[in-house]
């Protein structure tokens, strides 16, 4: 019988925020050991987009009015995670990333990360093979097509 405290599946949502038109740079958050995007887990009763907006504001200070979301872009990746709080049991996870252009200059407010930086847009990118590189290749293809 499955442990009821361990979720059957996890969903995480966030944004790839970029500056410029065409893209000049995009926002990466700095963890101790890796680069990431502003994202987090969907809370009960929350839509994917609501989660992405909430996490963006919580982790960067960027508000929904500060960005323009591309309605035609949605990148998903699926993989398995093993979190300590769930006794390292394997849990399927889906990450959904939306694409948005920053409309106004914003002072990034760091709350959950070590830092951030605006990475120049210069495909092909080689930043993080499993998560970020496929996303950036998808963005490049999206704008090319």
Is 18 a member of any domain?
Answer: yes
Is 16 a member of any domain?
Answer: yes
HEC letters along 68-97: EECCCCCEEEEEEECCHHHCCCCEEEEEEE
Domains held by the chain: number: 1
Question: Which domain range does residue 97 map to?
Answer: 10-144
pTM exceeding 0.85: yes
- Judge contact between 14 and 52, C-beta under 8 A: yes
Is 41 a member of any domain?
Answer: yes
Length of the chain: 145
Is 5 a member of any domain?
Answer: no
Is 3 a member of any domain?
Answer: no
**Angle subtended at Cα 138 by Cα 134 and Cα 141, rounded to the nearest 5 degrees:** 140
pLDDT by residue for the chain (145 residues), tens digit each? 456 677 888 899 999 999 999 999 999 999 888 899 999 999 999 999 999 999 999 999 999 999 999 999 999 999 888 888 888 888 899 999 999 999 999 999 998 889 999 999 999 899 988 889 999 999 999 998 7
CATH number, position 41: 3.90.79.10
Cα 125 to Cα 18: distance, rounded to the nearest angstrom: 15
């Amino acid at each position: 019988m499955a442990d009821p405290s361990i979720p059957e599946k996890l969903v995480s949502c966030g944004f790839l925020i970029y500056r410029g038109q065409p893209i000049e740079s995009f926002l990466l958050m700095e963890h101790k050991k890796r680069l990431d995007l502003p994202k987090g887990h969907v809370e009960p009763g929350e839509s994917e987009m609501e989660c992405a907006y909430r996490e963006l504001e919580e982790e960067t200070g960027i508000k929904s009015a500060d960005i323009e979301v591309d309605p035609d872009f949605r990148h998903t990746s699926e993989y398995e995670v093993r979190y300590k709080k769930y006794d390292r049991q394997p849990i399927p996870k889906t990450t959904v990333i939306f694409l948005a252009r920053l409309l106004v200059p914003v002072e990034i407010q760091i709350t959950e990360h070590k830092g951030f930086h605006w990475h120049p847009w210069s495909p092909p990118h080689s930043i993080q093979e499993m998560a970020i590189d496929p996303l950036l290749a998808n963005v490049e293809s999206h704008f090319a097509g």
